[in-house]
Amino acid sequence: MLHWFDPGKYAAFVATAYGVSTLVLGVLVIESLWRARRWRKAAERVRPAKAPRP
Amino acid sequence: MPQGMVSLAFFANPARFMAVSRWLAPILGLCAALALIVGLKMSLGAPDDYQQGDTVKIFFVHVPAALTGMFAYACLAAASFFGLVFRHSLADAAAKACAPIGAAFTGLALITGSLWGRPMWGAWWVWDARLTSVLVLFLLYLGYMALHAALDDEAKAARAAAILALVGAINLPIIHYSVVWWNSLHQGETIFAGKLAPVYLGPFLVMWVGYTLLFIALWLVRTRTEVWRRRAGAQALAAAT
């Protein structure tokens, strides 16, 4: 247990709120980066080789 | 042309936007990560409230999520306005990219609010003005995304979704003033009324900055993605004809 975190009576609610927040934001970041990578590659695939990268 | 419009026009150029956002998004993402790590340590180390006990710690993830969800909708409405009035493709792309991020933050606000309400009010949900208006905001995001996905013609979809976004913007002042206009189980104005104890203000501000920077970084990434998606689609179509 972290020494600066004192779990109280409602620790289960607090831990769940922080856990859900971390999970949702983590999934959002990973999904955004995955989609960006996918469409960047798709755009590069159809672009002529000489064209400069935006 | 006013100064603000000049700078807006500067970034409205897609090539310039792609060049600037390429280095700006990772910098903002790193700043967000740093703020969230520091904010998390400060939040979990904050003292218990004399009435609410340790549930006060939910405040540091609930309120920044709610404020970011509302800020995201304001950005969505502004981008929709520019897309609708000036028919600017980058504004359309920015509006479309904004919706899933705003929905995620608003959904988080509803979930964490429910987790705070159960021990404090004895109920996971009440049809209170504040809670209901935030639920309407979440449904507006879902409606915006559904409308965009429902129409095959991207220009028509962007126009229809932009009108929905602009009409839905009326919900933002309703959310803000819901605790003033109606008797509400939700606590009244705290932060902007200067009623928040200083010991909670620090962790809250750091978390709020972290959430806002994360939203902006993700918005840039997803707008870039939308530009690439449209470019790939247009180039594939040109190659096929």
Q: Which of A3, A6, A9, A13 to mutate to test the interface with B (most CBs of B within 10 A)?
A: A13
Q: Which domain holds residue B88?
A: 27-230
pLDDT band for B52, please (50, 70, 90 cuts).
confident
Does the beta-carbon distance from B235 to A43 stay under 8 Å?
yes
pLDDT at B207: 96
For chain B, how many residues are written?
A: 241
Cβ contact B185:B126 at 8 Å: yes
Residue given tokens 């856990």 in the structure block: A19
Q: Which residues partner with B49 through β-bridges?
A: B53
For B48, the closest of A8, A28, A45 (CB atoms) is A8
Question: Residue B57 has what DSSP assignment?
Answer: G
Contact B229 A42 (CB under 8 A): yes
d(CA B174, CA B190): 17
Q: Count how many domains chain B has.
A: 1
- Please give the pLDDT value at position A6: 57
pLDDT for res A8: 66
Q: Is B54 close to A33, i.e. CB distance below 8 A? A: no
Q: How confident is the model at residue B17 (pLDDT cuts 50, 70, 90)?
A: confident
Q: What pLDDT digit, counting tens, does each position of A1-54 carry?
A: 455 555 667 788 999 999 999 999 999 999 999 999 999 998 888 765 555 555
Cross-chain residue pair B58–A46, CB shorter than 8 Å: no
Decide if B192 is inside a domain: yes
Residue of B nearest to A45 (CA): B232
Q: Enumerate the residues of chain A whose CB falls inside 8 A of the CB of residue B53.
A: 8-10
pLDDT the model gives residue B234: 79
Task: Determine what percent of chain B is predicted with pLDDT higher than 70.
Answer: 95
Query: Which residues from A are below 8 Å from B when comparing CB atoms?
Result: 2, 4-11, 13-14, 16-18, 20-21, 24-25, 28-29, 32-33, 35-36, 39-40, 42-43, 45-47, 54
φ/ψ (deg, to 5) at B224 = -60, -40
Write down the pLDDT at residue B7. Answer: 60
According to the model, what pLDDT value does residue A1 have? 46
| Domain annotation covers residue B22 | no
Tokens matching residue B118: 């159960």
Q: How far apart are CA B105 and CA B128, in angstroms?
A: 20
Of A26-30, B20-24, B215-219, B237-241, give the lowest mean pLDDT range: B237-241
Residue B236 included in any domain:
no
Quick: pLDDT tens for B142-193. Answer: 999 999 999 988 889 999 999 999 999 999 999 998 888 888 788 777 777 7
Residue B76 near residue B102, CB atoms below 8 Å: yes
More confident site: B73 or B181: B73
Q: Is A45 exposed, middle or buried (0-12, 13-18, 19+ CB in 10 A)?
A: exposed
Tell me, yes or no, whether B239 lies in a domain.
Answer: no
Q: Is B111 a domain residue?
A: yes
Of the listed ranges A15-24, A44-53, B39-48, B89-98, the least confidently predicted one is: A44-53
Question: Is B19 inside a domain boundary?
Answer: no
B33 located within any domain:
yes
Exposure string over B151-179, b if 16+ CB within 10 A, otherwise e: eeeeeebbbbbbebbeebbebbebbeebb
| pLDDT above 50 (res B51) | yes
Contacts of B225 in chain A (CB under 8 A): 32, 35-36, 39-40
